[in-house]
């Protein structure tokens, strides 16, 4: 009698590993506008900065392990820095970034790991996380992070008009439509209660 060969066990898919080289990604850099709100945005050439997807990915945990490329841009005055990351694999929702807010803030120099200062917000119709100015930041400073599914962004800037203008120019995730509230006419009317007749009693 011939013994059937054992059924091979499936090989587990290896977990993504951080990338500490940054392959130039002109499509990613091309998402960033040259100017917003009347000020010039400088898009750093890929060979002029030493950061890699793995460096900033450490702030985003397992999502950051899937960062495939990184683009950096900045505005000199009013000060603003933007990090744009392409994500390999499944799309990322802005909500998925919540566990990493405190470390994202720490990456851009905000001391402390308390995620509480972060708030959900909507900018130009897109869902974002924002950390407003507080005693851990310079006056006027706000930090934003959000995702468009394929790309994750981290922005820190001191002028919120400029911050929001740049966010508006970049891809994002549309905020959910508000749930309509029931109209007052849908509530039961008190006139439906039976009115006692003259014969009652």
Label each residue of 172-197 as H, E or C. Answer: CCECCCCCCCCCHHHCCCHHHCCCCC
Residue 12 lies in a domain: no
Residue 139 lies in a domain: yes
Q: Average of pLDDT values for 163-178?
A: 94
Which residue has better confidence, 21 or 2? 21
Report the residue count for the chain. 201
The CA–CA distances, whole Å, from 122 to 104, 130, 168, 172 equal 19, 9, 10, 10
Residue 143 lies in a domain: yes
The CA–CA distances, whole Å, from 64 to 13, 88, 119, 167 equal 18, 10, 21, 20
Q: Per-residue pLDDT for 187 more than 60?
A: no
What is the band of 137 on the pLDDT scale with cuts at 50, 70, 90? low
Looking at every residue in the chain, the average pLDDT score rounds to 86
Residue 188 lies in a domain: no
Residue 136 lies in a domain: yes
159-170 per-position pLDDT tens digit: 999 999 999 999
Ramachandran bin of 137, using left for φ above 0, alpha for ψ from -120 to 50, beta for the remaining angles: beta
Q: Per-residue pLDDT for 138 more than 90?
A: no
36, β-bridge pairs: 39
The CA–CA distances, whole Å, from 145 to 137, 152, 162, 172 equal 16, 7, 15, 10
Ramachandran bin of 179, using left for φ above 0, alpha for ψ from -120 to 50, beta for the remaining angles: beta
Helix (H, G, I), strand (E, B) or coil at 18: coil
Q: For the chain, what is the domain count?
A: 1
CATH code of residue 152: 3.40.1000
DSSP per-residue codes, 149-174: BSEEEEEEES-HHHHHHHHHHS---B
33-75 per-position pLDDT tens digit: 999 999 999 999 999 999 999 999 999 999 999 999 999 999 9
Residue 5 lies in a domain: no
Residue 195 lies in a domain: no
Enclosing domain of residue 172 = 26-176
Residue 10 lies in a domain: no
């Amino acid at each position: 009698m011939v013994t059937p060969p054992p059924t091979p066990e499936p090989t587990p898919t290896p977990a993504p590993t951080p990338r500490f080289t940054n392959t130039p990604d002109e499509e990613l850099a091309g998402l960033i506008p040259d100017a917003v709100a009347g000020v010039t945005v400088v898009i750093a050439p890929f060979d002029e900065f030493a950061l890699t997807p793995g460096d900033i990915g450490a702030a985003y945990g397992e999502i950051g392990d899937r960062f495939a490329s990184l683009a950096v841009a900045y505005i000199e005055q009013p000060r603003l820095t933007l990090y744009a990351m392409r994500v390999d694999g499944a799309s990322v929702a802005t909500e998925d970034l919540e566990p990493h807010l405190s470390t994202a803030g720490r990456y851009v120099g905000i001391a402390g790991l308390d995620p509480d200062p972060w708030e959900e917000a909507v900018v130009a119709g897109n869902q974002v996380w924002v950390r407003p100015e507080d005693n851990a930041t310079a006056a006027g400073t706000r930090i934003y992070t959000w995702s468009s599914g394929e790309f994750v962004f981290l922005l820190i800037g001191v002028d919120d008009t400029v911050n929001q203008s740049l966010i508006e120019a970049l891809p994002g995730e549309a905020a959910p439509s508000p749930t309509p509230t029931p109209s007052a006419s849908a509530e039961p009317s008190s006139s439906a209660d039976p009115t006692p007749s003259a014969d009652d009693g």
